Amino acid sequence: MARSLRTLMLATTFLVVAGVRAVAQYEPPSPAYPDPSAILLPPVASGGTPVRSVRPSADLPSQTSDDNPRPSRPRSTRRDYNDEPVRPIAPIRSNGDDDRPRVETAALLRAPADSTTLRAADYEAARREPSDDRSRKEEDPDAYDYLLGRARRGNYDDHYSRGPVDLRDARRKSEQAPGDTMSDTIDDVLGGVGGRKGRGERFRSDHRFDCFIAPTTNPFYFEDARTTTEIRPIFIYQNIPNGNANFNGGGAWFLGGQARLAITDRFSIVMNKLGASNFSPGSGSLQNSNTGLSELWIGPKFGLIQNPDTKTLVTAGTTFQIPLGSSSVYQNTGNLSIVPYLSAAQELINTDLGAVNGMASTGWAISVNNERSNMFYLSSHVDLNFKNNNRFYPFLEANWSWYTKSGNSTDLGVEGRDLANFGAVRSQGSNLVTLAVGSRFKITKAWDVGGSFEFPLFGSRDLFRYRASFDIIWRY
């Protein structure tokens, strides 16, 4: 009896241990998912003919006959997203005598039962077409989408192809308020001036008005009406009349440049003049030949009217003439002159030969003391955009300068217009009108060159017998 009881206890213990180990090692079967090929790659007939219907092959048993009743569905039976059974598609056999389309072997996968199939190309195009919801997100993205780059590119697939993203870092950045970083703050402040520049577009020129060109003559006063970022080396040679009592002929030249920086599409900073100036009087003159640093002219410019449809531009600005140059070439006269000005550009007519564009600028140089002379100026420009190719521009330019107030720095009795402010005591009332012919050629969108020859029409010639100007522009 005791032996039987001991044997029963050992058997019971063995069964309990075996059951516990079986329960611990049991893994439930993984759920069966529908075959992706049944949805993404429906059958396609050769030649692009869609397979409109699917009929079971004669080799397969009928699922609705009395001899083959519908079996109970096992767990591994595949079903589509509508919980409908998915059945295989049998190949369509053809002996060459009928007109039935031949199904491509690669497309004999699986499709949902009782479904109308399309060509794979059409199905793929419909699948990739953005939905209304996606369009709405691209038009009005949230901060998270903006940080992930979706709002910038407008293409979700392109973003996903770039690889994984650190979502924790992206969410942390999305919680920052606008203007948290220094660059955001600068963008908010400067962008509010009226520009539309975004990241990657800072300081870029406004290329909506590339049909216009920069004026060539009177370059330090005649300001371009466009908002640009550019560097412009300039060379000017001016011949002095032999009858001038102070210089007795000779010549003067300037070698230097200008620079412009477009902060927004409307607001820019302009450095109108900086370089080296030279005056070389003729033989027998009491003046010496010297070369020295020129004045510094700099100031802001703001676009008032910008209409690319009618090609209309109106710009206002102020130039500060700072006399920090050399006294030997009359570049240190007085303390300061302030030049408020207006510039405008307009396409006048458009012909078979090309568009005719006009540009004009006017302003008044006003001294803050009595040492410098005051001058009013008016400059105009007409060019032909040959064949509207934005490449070659022959032009005419006219300039008028009129001194409204004399200075008290020198007794020369003549003035230097844009080359120097002598502060001559007898300059008031003198004026000069000049005409220039020239052309400008755009080598590329960023580079162009221009040249002109200018001569006086009437008025007090002072130091102006004729002038040749040449410049090169690199524009961003």
Res. 77: pLDDT tops 80: no
Q: Which two tokens stand for residue 371?
A: 């040492």
Does the pLDDT at position 216 exceed 70?
Answer: yes
Task: Pick the more confident residue, 212 or 123.
Answer: 212
CA–CA separation, 454 vs 222, rounded Å? 14
DSSP 293-336: E--EEEEEEEEEEEETTTTEEEEEEEEEEE--S-GGGT---SS-
pLDDT band at 230 (very low <50, low <70, confident <90, very high): very high
Max mean pLDDT among 194-208, 239-253, 365-379 falls in 365-379
Count the residues in the chain: 476
Distance CA 343, CA 301 (A): 10
Long-range contacts of 100-106 (CB under 8 A, 24+ apart): 101/45, 101/46, 101/47, 101/49, 101/51, 102/45, 102/46, 103/43, 103/44, 103/45, 103/46, 103/51, 104/43, 104/44, 104/45, 104/46
Q: Residue 463 and residue 287: Cα distance in Å, rounded? A: 13
Neighbours of 90 (CB within 10 A): 15
Helix (H) or strand (E) holding 346: strand 337-351
Inter-CA distances, 400 with 123, 321, 382, 417, Å:
71, 19, 15, 10
pTM: 0.61
Confidence grade of residue 260 (pLDDT, cut at 50, 70, 90): very high
Where are the domains positioned within the chain? 33-52+76-129, 137-176, 207-475
Query: DSSP secondary-structure letter at 45?
Result: B
The string of pLDDT tens digits covering residues 263-292 is 999 999 999 999 999 999 998 888 889 999
Range scoring the smallest mean pLDDT among 27-36, 232-241, 350-359: 27-36
Mean pLDDT of the chain: 76
To 5 degrees, how large is the angle CA 180–CA 183–CA 185? 55
What residues are paired with 448 via a beta bridge?
Answer: 442, 473
Which amino acid is it at 408?
A: N
Instruction: Tell me the per-residue pLDDT of 407-463, one tens digit each, with 9 for 90 and over.
Output: 999 988 889 999 999 999 989 999 999 999 999 999 999 999 999 999 999 999 889
pLDDT on residue 89: 55
Residue 358: is its pLDDT beyond 70? Answer: yes
CATH topology (fold) of 207-475:
Porin (2.40.160)
Which tokens sit at 348?
């006048």
pLDDT of res. 324: 94
Task: Evaluate if residue 154 carries a pLDDT over 90.
Answer: no
Look at 158 and 372; give whichever has higher pLDDT.
372
Higher pLDDT, 371 or 127: 371
pLDDT band at 201 (very low <50, low <70, confident <90, very high): confident
Place of tokens 């213990």: 13
Whether the Cβ atoms of residue 413 and residue 447 lie closer than 8 Å to each other: no
Look at the block and give the residue holding tokens 């216009």: 212
Mean pLDDT of the region 144-153: 42
Q: What is the mean pLDDT of residues 319-328?
A: 96
**Res 244: pLDDT:** 85
Please state, in angstroms and rounded to a whole number, the distance separating the CA atoms of residues 471 and 402.
26
Give dist(CA 236, CA 253) in Å, integer.
Answer: 5
For residue 2, the model assigns a pLDDT of 59
pLDDT value of residue 172? 52
- Nearest by Cα to 208 from 222, 195, 223: 195
* pLDDT of 321 strictly over 90: yes
First vs last C-alpha separation in the chain:
107
Note the pLDDT of residue 159. Answer: 39
Amino acid identity for residue 33 in this structure: Y
Structure confidence at residue 87 (pLDDT):
62
